[in-house]
Chains A and B, each alone.
Chain A
């Protein structure tokens, strides 16, 4: 499954807000420019109107048109049809020698009649100031937008610290919450209703979890006690039968089976209880432990045993290697891995235990697994389908590692089964 990228809520809302602001700005900019253009046209039109009026009066008074500054020409042809022609607009740039610069003009070519003659006049009006105004309006919009956008981002950033503080503190409490220690979780003060709702829900959940947990714990303990006591009775009575020669002469096989199965049942009950306890995080007395003395002690306990199986244990241990874990759990990990190595190890070479910077490995020689590698840590999965082991050891180890920030992996290399434990990143 591909992991989706996640974003902070505030980043999301800010981005969406920014996009919205941008669109609003663009549309208002277009609107403004259109209005400005309209205004300019209207203003120019009234100037043109006055201009035309003066021009027509001038011509009507019979004054000579070549004395005008305006370019006016009398056109040959039918005056009536000339005066029907539409005016033509265009923008032009004309050099003004007086101020030595190019100036922008709106050129309007009009056609009109005075008495029976048709004329064409080219009217020029300077529009430089108008266009400058338009450009200024448009130009001021961009910095205004940038300023506003920056403001939004900064404001949201500062607000997130303030508004989201209770949220983050509630999250911290959720993160550090451990099953079985639910009572007395402090409430974070906030008047944001969403956070209040979340917090209330969290507290309700914890209450339920704690309730279920204590029930389960009680159940597990009762189970252990209530089951183990009758098992003990069966166990001890079977031992009595074993001690009785007359019974054994007739029924050794039956007694043997009862004895073995009772033994198995009791062991399984113990292991499952232990697994449950570990899963419930009951062993939380984690401290930093130097592993060398612990491993050495465990190796010493089984060395003689290994020798009987023609196995040697070769331990090269770094005095610096440390693990943060409950000592009892470290014992279980080591015991199970070493036990496993002795159970399945063959005499082609030693069982090797190595510790080095942040890494623990244990390996033993042996034929490849008969089961898929990924199933090796599953409960009740055994290499041989026999009752020699409970099939819980490795899953116990895996569980402990998971709960203590350790990563365990298995590989088969050069005829050796290798288990490696590293601090998980």
Chain B
């Protein structure tokens, strides 16, 4: 899977590049609109991550161009511009998702996976780590092939962990993923604790292992190592 990051802040770009490479993506970077045009006219990418405020122009233009060259390419807008009209415009032009900075890398990872899954029909809709399997199309989790009865949010939580194995997910990060701004973050930590407790219980009761570990009071990690 090949990803192009269009981002003018080099530190941020490097960090994202490193992170995505760790997740087995092939990553390239363009710092300007011009550079991005050059790259998309030569290479084919599965996904382009576009920042809107670029030094030589508006990233919205790039979204239009990408769709012209290759409609199959997934587009994820990642910007500090939190304007509703930008979001509507971007999505109307064919962007698949819109994220605002600052962002959690785990969230970025989850969004990239879902964009790629939507755009590529040959991609597997099954996610499996050891005894736990998730059918993304049916939104159903299994332990040793027997279905696990989870609530909507418990399922979302499990999926998020499995999309980001061996990574510390902070409470803030998980809360935002599950509830967005429907709830004050600090308030949501108690809820999160309960959700995780219930999820662990359901997994172990069905014969699964407890993969979710609390980390330094900051968050949780789904351990994929046996």
Contacts and interface: CB of A to CB of B under 8 A. Distances in A.
Interface of A: 221, 224-229, 231-237, 239-240, 242-243, 248, 252, 255-256, 259-260, 262-263, 266-267, 270, 273-274, 277, 283, 298, 301-302, 304-305, 308-309, 328, 335, 338-339, 342-343, 386-389
Interface SS majority for chain B? mixed
A248 B102 contact: no
Given A233-B15, A302-B182, A225 B53 contact: yes
A270 B195 CA distance: 28
A147 B201 CA distance: 96
Contacts of B216: 248, 252, 256
Contacts of A338: 182
Most chain B CB within a 10 A radius of its CB, from A256, A259, A305:
A305
Given A339-B182, A389-B184, A309 B190 contact: yes
B118 to A, nearest CB: 22
Contacts of A232: 9, 12, 80, 101-103
24 contacts: A221-B81, A228-B80, A228-B100, A229-B9, A233-B11, A235-B103, A236-B15, A237-B15, A239-B105, A248-B215, A262-B102, A270-B82, A273-B82, A277-B83, A302-B179, A304-B151, A304-B152, A304-B153, A305-B179, A305-B188, A305-B191, A339-B182, A388-B187, A389-B184
Interface stretch (B36-44, B89-97, B128-136, B164-172): B164-172
A231 B103 CA distance: 10
A226 B194 CA distance: 38
A424 B36 CA distance: 52
Sort chain B's interface into a size bin. 35 or more
Contacts of A233: 9, 11-12, 15
B145 interface: no
Contacts, number: 121
B181 A335 contact: yes
B24 to A, nearest CB: 16
A254 B182 CA distance: 28
B115 to A, nearest CB: 20
A270 B180 CA distance: 14
Nearest to A221: B81
Nearest to A309: B191
A248 B185 CA distance: 22
Interface of B: 9, 11-12, 15-16, 19, 53, 80-84, 100-105, 151-153, 167-168, 170, 172, 179, 181-188, 190-191, 194-195, 215-219
A231 B101 contact: yes
A341 to B, nearest CB: 11
B187 A343 contact: yes
Contacts of B15: 233, 236-237, 240
B105 A387 contact: no
Given A229-B101, A302-B182, A224 B167 contact: no
A259 B215 CA distance: 14
A389 to B, nearest CB: 5
Contacts of A267: 185
Contacts of B104: 235, 239
Contacts of A302: 179, 182-183
B18 to A, nearest CB: 8
Contacts of A270: 82, 100
B12 A229 contact: yes
A229 B84 contact: no
Contacts of B11: 233
Contact of A308 (B9, B105, B191, B219): B191
A338 B104 CA distance: 25
Nearest to B13: A233
A242 B80 contact: no
A-B complex: 6 closest residue pairs judged by Cβ atoms: A228-B80, A232-B102, A252-B216, A388-B186, A235-B102, A225-B80
Nearest to A277: B83
Given A231-B101, A237-B15, A342-B183, A256 B80 contact: no
A252 B218 CA distance: 8
B81 A256 contact: no
Contacts of B100: 228, 270
A262 B152 CA distance: 30
A267 B172 CA distance: 11
A236 B81 contact: no
B154 to A, nearest CB: 9
Contacts of B184: 339, 343, 388-389
Given A233-B11, A236-B105, A388-B186, A263 B172 contact: yes
Given A252-B218, A301-B179, A342-B183, A225 B81 contact: yes
B153 A305 contact: yes
Contacts of B9: 229, 232-233
A232 B7 CA distance: 12
Contacts of B187: 342-343, 388-389
B5 to A, nearest CB: 13
A226 B102 CA distance: 12
Contacts of A308: 190-191, 194-195
Contacts of A224: 80-82
A388 B171 CA distance: 14
Contacts of B151: 304
A149 to B, nearest CB: 60
B101 A256 contact: no
Given A273-B82, A308-B191, A338-B182, A243 B12 contact: no
